[in-house]
Amino acid sequence: MAQETPEARVPVKRALVSVYDKTGLEELAQGLHAAGVALVSTGSTAARIAAAGVPVTPVEELTGFPECLDGRVKTLHPRVHAGILADRRLPDHVRQLAELDVEPFDLVVVNLYPFAATVASGAGYDDVVEQIDIGGPSMVRAAAKNHPSVAVVVDPARYGDVLAAVAAGGFDLPARKRLAAAAFAHTAAYDTAVAGWFAEQTLSEEDGGWPAVTGVALERADVLRYGENPHQQAAVYVDPTAAPGIAQAVQLHGKAMSYNNYVDADAALRAAHDLDGPAVAVIKHANPCGIATGTDVADAHAKAHACDPVSAFGGVIAANRVVTAAMAAQVADVFTEVVIAPGFEPEALETLRAKKNIRLLQLPEGYGRGAREWRPVSGGVLVQELDRVDAHGDDPANWTLAAGEAADEQTLADLEFAWRAVRSVRSNAILLARDGASVGVGMGQVNRVDSCKLAVERAGAERAAGSVAASDAFFPFADGAQILLDAGVRAIVQPGGSIRDGEVVEAATKAGITMYFTGARHFAH
């Protein structure tokens, strides 16, 4: 086999073009024709090229076999695939092409039927199956395998590169390898989507709602300076099948995002977007320094910051509304790593951009967290449904009054806020709240007693007295609840379900405070 140097280019004399997404097709065809490249194409692609005034050979003229079966068979023919797969470094392949009177292709431009988009549209089973591309992936994989002789392009965004390479005498070997890698990634993602959809369609009761096979092809968005610590390498990848989130946010200002910035920003988004009305969360190490709702985002930010202003230094802030000039002025007074929001008022941007290092991120439209979350473990992955504010016990109307009198309107509103906000705190989690804002947070302790102590300590005696408390899980003993009662909380909301619930209720009753059971737990590990 003849060895090829990396610098060696394969001149593009003949191209096979068959695309569903016809973005930029006319410009590509005209550019290739102007460079002397002969074009072979299929169906509607050939029609579009011809309409642009570019000579094109229909594939059926090449094969001598008509397109048939409603377009299912167009390019599945030896005259097509021999022209793609012939390794022209091998004299025997070149000889066979000559004997068979097959001309080789130097360039294959293909993109596939929109399978994922068809599924997302809610189309019926038969319509989805019809969008499973057969000929397209076959050509893409063939061209990618034979990258020593053929360049393959699957992304219309690369058409400018194609024309530049053609003008330069063809793609060199490193470029063809990169194109082949992109092509295999393209077909892998496509097949993963098809396999995942079929697995979902064939679920049985024994499967418990979980497909036998699942997966997603992630696309690298950026290489990060380092990971959680400087000695760890890291990158951020996006899931093209998921609702847009932190990975797709647009950075408007500041230094490049770090690994820890992404982790904290995602936690902040969850905390702020779990709440109704204008809300702001201030996060440090994936835990809230403060969470609050307010009349507007400036009010919410002031209340959230006041919960723990010491810890808020160097924190990450998320708002569920557009950042106003008033909020920006407050943020500018405190060192902040990241602010992420659906948008920023022009004056707010001007104020915050005066801070050189602060990172400003704008959420993409359609932000959502998806239906499932994944967590790597040794040798595999844990997958679970996302913990949403939609469990039966998340609605105060479904709560059970376990002790004391029914809460008044303001107390019930504070309890509901605290119950929603405590979901964003790492377990064991206790959150004290007043007037729609956290005033003390106890998180990440290995027993609930210490979390209660921490929440009360951070609130301070004055703020703890008269606050309400939420616990993400039940009190296994009365001792944790007693710490809250001794601090003067006026009401507690918790899941209930401990074998010692009676002792906890008795303590609350003795203290004369209101306690609700939700029946729902919100651990966050």
pLDDT digits (tens, 9 = 90+) for 471-502: 989 889 999 999 999 999 999 999 999 999 89
Question: Same fold for the domain at 9-199 and the one at 392-517?
Answer: no
pLDDT at 130: 79
**Exposure letters 386-395 (e unless 16+ CB within 10 A, then b):** ebeeebebbe
pLDDT confidence of 282, banded at 50, 70, 90? Answer: very high
The mean of the pLDDT values for the chain is 89
Q: Does pLDDT of 241 surpass 90?
A: no
pLDDT at 131: 77
Q: Does pLDDT of 85 surpass 90?
A: no
pLDDT at 193: 83
pLDDT at 73: 66
145 is catalytic: yes
pLDDT at 71: 64
285 is catalytic: yes
Rg (C-alpha) for the chain, rounded Å, is: 30
Bridge partners (DSSP) listed for residue 440: 432
Structure confidence by residue, pLDDT tens digits, 437-471: 999 999 988 999 999 999 999 999 999 999 999 99
- Residue 288 DSSP SS3: strand
pLDDT at 285: 93
- Contacting residues for 288 by C-beta, under 8 A, at least 6 apart: 267, 271, 281, 282, 307, 421, 424, 425, 438, 441, 443
Q: Does pLDDT of 325 surpass 60?
A: yes
More confident residue, 251 or 8: 251
Q: Where are the domains of the chain?
A: 9-199, 245-362, 392-517
Q: Which of 77, 177, 253, 285 is catalytic?
A: 285
Q: Does pLDDT of 76 surpass 80?
A: no
Looking at residues 88-107, what average pLDDT do you find? Answer: 82
What is the rounded distance in angstroms from the CA atom of residue 48 to the CA atom of residue 226? 47
More confident residue, 99 or 257: 257
Q: Does pLDDT of 154 surpass 80?
A: yes
**DSSP-H helix ranges across 42-134:** 43-51, 59-63, 78-85, 91-100, 115-120, 125-130
pLDDT confidence of 428, banded at 50, 70, 90? Answer: confident
Most confident of 17-31, 65-79, 195-209: 17-31
Looking at residues 393-407, what average pLDDT do you find? Answer: 91
How many angstroms separate the most distant Cα atoms in the chain? Answer: 98
Q: Does pLDDT of 65 surpass 70?
A: no
Q: Which of 22, 77, 93, 145 is catalytic?
A: 145
Looking at residues 307-319, what average pLDDT do you find? Answer: 95
Q: Homologous superfamily of 245-362 in CATH? A: AICAR transformylase, duplication domain (3.40.140.20)
pLDDT at 68: 62
pLDDT at 421: 93
pLDDT at 500: 94
- Residue 319 DSSP SS3: strand
DSSP state of 493: E
H-helix or E-strand containing 390? none
Q: What percent of the chain has pLDDT over 70?
A: 96
What is the rounded distance in angstroms from the CA atom of residue 148 to the CA atom of residue 223? 28
pLDDT at 331: 96
Looking at residues 387-397, what average pLDDT do you find? Answer: 80
- CATH number for the 9-199 domain, one of 3.30.70.20, 3.40.50.970, 3.40.50.150, 3.40.50.1380? 3.40.50.1380
More confident residue, 257 or 71: 257
If we measure between CA atoms, which residue out of 90, 63, 78, 186 comes closest to residue 146? Answer: 90
pLDDT at 4: 57
pLDDT confidence of 348, banded at 50, 70, 90? Answer: very high
pLDDT confidence of 206, banded at 50, 70, 90? Answer: confident
Burial, 132: exposed, middle or buried (Cβ in 10 Å; 0-12, 13-18, 19+)? middle
Q: Does pLDDT of 9 surpass 90?
A: no
Q: Does pLDDT of 377 surpass 80?
A: yes
pLDDT at 522: 79
- Residue 22 DSSP SS3: coil
pTM recorded for the entire structure: 0.82
pLDDT at 46: 87
- How far, in Å, are 120, 262, 264, 309, 435 from residue 331 at the CA level? 39, 19, 17, 12, 21
pLDDT at 134: 81
Q: Does pLDDT of 335 surpass 80?
A: yes
- How far, in Å, are 200, 215, 383 from residue 380 at the CA level? 20, 12, 10
If we measure between CA atoms, which residue out of 12, 17, 11 comes closest to residue 29? Answer: 17
Q: Does pLDDT of 321 surpass 70?
A: yes
Answer yes or no: are the C-beta atoms of 179 and 147 closer than 8 Å: yes
CATH architecture of 392-517: 3-Layer(aba) Sandwich (3.40)
If we measure between CA atoms, which residue out of 10, 26, 135, 33 comes closest to residue 80? Answer: 135
